[in-house]
Structure 1
Amino acid sequence: MNGRTILYTGAAGGLGLETTLLLMRRGATVVAVDNDPAKVAKLQDAAAGIDSGRLIVSTPDLSDLAAFRTELDRLLAETGGFDVVVNNAAIYPSKPFEEFTIEDHQLVQRVNVDAGIVAVQAALPGMRERGFGRIVNVSSITISGGWANLSPYVASKGALIGLTRAWAREFGAYGVTVNAIAPGAFPTDAEKIHPDPEGYNRMVLDAQAIKRRGTAADIAAAIAFFAADEAGFITGQTLHVNGGWVMA
């Protein structure tokens, strides 16, 4: 990935950090979009051992779409364009459906989906001009059912699958591929919403065909695969990275 520039939202999180470092090790410059100061600091420390000059940190509020687009325009001018976009950032409020307001739903949609649309709108003209682009949308195992109290999140992750297919059809003529990954249950901050961590861990291992918990490296490998030149004949696909919990 020497010479590639990758826009990666949620780049410093539990699954994002390892992917960012892997992409940097492979020669890419990563524009890491994340507004968690502690996680960003951890990422910067880790990147210093590779090449901190190939890490560009941006900390916008993704719920403010107009401000995010302004920041993307600044980053485009700084970097010369994005070869790869990874739409990974997400929020995941948990409560029964009837307790969510429409504003709750709209906020999840803005951060989890609409910010990704804005990112692709910013990146696509340059990809089309260069005849190359990779877009990777991070969905979720929750779209397969079986999870209560997450309806706005599940809806947003389903929307990303739909966009993956629509964009793949439309952008293929430009040399741009669009794929999604659907991670299973990974031991990150997202699991803190579960009241019984040990019971949840047992439930996950019972459901999976592979009897270990997934790691951030598993997700990093999948994203790096779709972002690579060698994946140029694969588009419109969703790769389930879940240890065989859901097989599709």
Structure 2
Amino acid sequence: MSHNAFDLSGKVAIVTGASRGLGQQFGRALAAAGADLVITSRNPEDMTDFVAEIEAGGRRAVPLALDLRDESSITQFASAAIAAYGKIDILVNNAGCNVRKPALEVTWDDWNLVLDTNLRGTFFVAQAIGRHMVERGYGRIINIGSVTSVMGYAGLAPYCASRGGVKQLTMSLADDWGRHGVTVNCLAPGWFRTEQNKVLYENEQWVDYLKDRIPLRRPGQPGDLAGSVVFLASDASEYITGQTLLVDGGISTGATKATLDDV
């Protein structure tokens, strides 16, 4: 390649769920690579400091309200995002939620909350922005999954179901829209500390247990996702679609001790 294929200068990227955590890390990485941003939260005021941070780095950031469980909110957000810049090149479908309970305690409403947000919401945001990308003949959609897209964990039944669905949805959309120049991939983080799971990381015994199962012997750090999201958003990945990229330190290998020397 005669140019920097990872350069996102002149590109516009949406990052949903950018009021905290991994959403902000994705936004920082894309802005550092040259992209201007549309960032979303149910309450845009929660992103005031993040907008200032991105703008201090020389990029633009437009904060918009988005509730993934509200069809009209998705429609309004999509129209406002496209109007803000006149185009959208990249969508990072990050917003989501979790309910952490033993399977026998999961309620009907728990299930609907997680699946309606993580799976249905991901689809309809992708559809709303994908329609614009198909018309333009260009787009990069990155659905954020999880190591639970490929592995099951006790206490996370609705979440695992939703993230497994995101992986399958990604392949379907890739097949639908590839002919229109739109790639669709799934970025699946492993165990990263977030607001949703921070209580686990306050337990040193649990952290030691987790590290023992990860071949790289540590949980993920925020910067571990930067290169992957930029790669999937950039021209460097133009012939990659329908794939799930696990950034998990190797925990999805199974991390089972097979010899006594490992114990």
TM over 0.5: yes
Compared with structure 1, are the counterparts of its residues 16 and 114 closer, same or farther at alpha carbon in structure 2 (3 Å cutoff)?
A: same
Partner of 1:43: 50
Map of 2:189 onto structure 1: 183
* Counterparts of 1:219 and 1:26, CA distance in 2: 13
Aligned equivalent of 1:198, options 201, 204, 211: 204
2:135 is equivalent to residue 164 of structure 1: no
Q: Could you list the runs of 5+ residues in structure 2 that have no partner in the other structure?
A: 1-7, 255-263
1:8 aligns with 2:32: no
Greater gyration radius: 2
Shift of 1:207: 0.8
Q: How far is 1:230 from its partner?
A: 1.4
2:10–2:34 CA contact under 8 A, matched in 1:
yes
Alignment of 1:1-248 (within 5 A): 1-35=8-42, 40-51=47-58, 54-194=60-200, 197-247=203-253
Contact 2:15–2:26 at 8 Å: present in 1 too? no
* Structure 1 vs Structure 2 CA RMSD: 2.0
Q: Residue deviations 1:90-120, cap 9 Å, x none?
A: 1011112232222221221221122222222
Contact 1:65 1:110 in 2 (8 A): no
SS at 2:196's partner residue? helix
> Please, what TM-score do these two structures have when normalized by structure 2?
0.86
Deviation at 1:195, TM superposition (A): 8.2
Q: Please state whether the residue corresponding to 1:15 is helix, strand or coil.
A: helix
Q: Tell which deviates more after alignment, 225-234 or 31-40.
A: 31-40
Structure 1 stretches of 4+ with a deviation exceeding 4 A read 36-39
- Native 8 Å contact 1:23 1:224 kept in 2: yes
Q: TM-score, normalised by structure 1?
A: 0.91
| Contact 2:150–2:164 (8 Å) recurs in 1 | no
- Residues 44 and 63 in structure 2, CA contact (< 8 A), matched pair in contact too: no
Unaligned 5+ segments in structure 1 are: none
- Could you tell me how far 1:240 is from its partner in structure 2? 0.8
Partner secondary structure for residue 148 of structure 1: coil
Using the alignment, how far apart are the partners of 1:46 and 1:77 within structure 2? 23
Provide the rounded CA distance (Å) in 2 between the counterparts of 1:38 and 1:187. Answer: 23
How big is each residue's C-alpha offset from its partner over 1:16-71, in whole Å with a ceiling of 9 and x where there is no partner? Answer: 2122112112221111112366852342242232125x101112222212222122
Q: What one-letter code is carried by the residue in structure 2 that aligns with 1:103? A: D
Is the 1:191–1:197 contact (alpha carbons within 8 Å) kept by the matching residues of 2? no
Identity of aligned residues (%): 34
